[in-house]
Amino acid sequence: MTGIDKFESVFRATLRDDFKLAPLVFKKVLVLTDVQAAPDEGRAMLASATTMLPSATEIELHMLAMDAPISVTLELVAREAPDLVVTHRGLASPSWRQPFTVGENLEVLTQVAAPPVLALPHPLVAAPPTKAPGKIMALTDQLAGNSDLVNAALALTPDDGQLVLCHVEDTRSFERFLDVIAKLPSIDTEQARDEISARLAKEPTDFAESVRAALEPKGRKVSILITRGAHTRDYVELVELEDAGLVVMGTRDASQLAMHGMAHALAIELRTTPMLLF
């Protein structure tokens, strides 16, 4: 059995999920804001969306009432069926000033509405970007095989922009398992640490290299950042260190109703950084 398991591991290790390029085009864009942010800020958001999405052919601005129920927002999105929703944190939410929430409208939008959501800072907290971002950071704790994330990030990366593929391995989980391994006499702890660590780094690295191999011949700049971290502040520091103009994260988790853990935390923390949440 040991031999069978050993060779199955060897063969599984040779399996690679290379990047599959499937370009996303956001043609129809729905810009959502609330009356509190209008009218100048609304126009600024429209301009921002136009700048960030040069391929968009149809950009529509909708003003929501401050007390607009979420059902109205969802109905509007369902009716318009845009390729992308552009909005801001604290959309139609009385708690928009609070730094502890992104607002119920935005939160539900990212989980229920079909199109991805580009969340800009609240117009009264920070002005919407006036130019396309130079660095777009695809940020995740599961980069290997995550072609959707890269394709989404790529859709908002200008031709002269830089796509940063960032994988953050969870240190806490790693250390917790290592602690257990350290108590198992049948497993060599140091060997386990080295091999698991190397394997955890290899898979996202291989995938990121396949992204690079697919995109660099097309003139796209791709940089790779494989690191470890545990806390939200580690992620925030990475975003600040890279000076990312846009952060792209997956928010949907089939096993839960709430937004994916770290995406939710970062959406709250990165109050002035635009985020594409899909």
Partner 1 sequence: MLATLLASGEAHHLTTQLFFAALLVGLILCLAFEEKLHAKKSVIAGGFATLCLLLGAGFGILPFEPLMLAGHELDLPVYIPAIEWDVIAIILGSSLFIDITSRSGLFTWIAIKLTKASGGDPRRLLWFYGLMTVVFSAVLNNVTAMIIVGSLTAVSLERLERKKLLFAFLLVEGLLTNVGGLLTLISSVPNIIVGTTAGISFGHFFLVASPYVAVATAATLWMGAKRFKVPQLKTTEEREAAALQVAGFDESDGVPSRFDFWFGAVSLLAFIAVIAGASALPLIRDLGMGYVAMGFAALALLRFRSTADRFYRELDWDLLAFFCGLFVVINVMEHAGVLDLIGQGLGSILALGETTGASLMLGTSAVASSVTDNIPLAAMLARILDADPTIGSNSASPFWWSVVFGANLGGNLTPIGSASTLVAVTVMHKHNLTIGFVGFIKKALPFAVMQIVLAVLYLLLLGALA
Give the binding site for partner 1 (CB under 8 A). 1, 3-8, 10-18, 206
Residue 222 Cα to chain centre, angstroms: 16
Q: Which is nearer to partner 1, 15 or 254 (CB)?
A: 15
* Tokens encoding 26: 């956001």
Q: Which is nearer to partner 1, 173 or 191 (CB)?
A: 191
Q: Which is nearer to partner 1, 8 or 60 (CB)?
A: 8
Distance CA(88)–CA(64), nearest Å, equals: 12
Least Cβ distance, residue 154 to partner 1 (angstroms)? 21
Q: Which is nearer to partner 1, 3 or 219 (CB)?
A: 3
Least Cβ distance, residue 206 to partner 1 (angstroms)? 8
3-state secondary structure of 80: helix
Distance CA(235)–CA(217), nearest Å, equals: 30
Give backbone dihedrals phi and psi of 169, rounded to 5 degrees, phi first: -85, 135
Q: Which is nearer to partner 1, 7 or 177 (CB)?
A: 7
3-state secondary structure of 205: helix
Give backbone dihedrals phi and psi of 136, rounded to 5 degrees, phi first: -115, 125
- The DSSP symbol for 129 reads P
Q: Which is nearer to partner 1, 5 or 40 (CB)?
A: 5
Distance CA(28)–CA(31), nearest Å, equals: 10
Least Cβ distance, residue 78 to partner 1 (angstroms)? 33
Least Cβ distance, residue 123 to partner 1 (angstroms)? 46
**Strand ranges across the sheet with 117-120:** 58-64, 28-34, 84-88, 117-120, 275-277, 246-249, 135-140, 162-170, 221-229
Least Cβ distance, residue 164 to partner 1 (angstroms)? 25
Least Cβ distance, residue 147 to partner 1 (angstroms)? 13
Q: Which is nearer to partner 1, 13 or 180 (CB)?
A: 13
Least Cβ distance, residue 257 to partner 1 (angstroms)? 30
3-state secondary structure of 165: strand
59 Ramachandran zone, left/alpha/beta (phi>0; psi -120 to 50):
beta
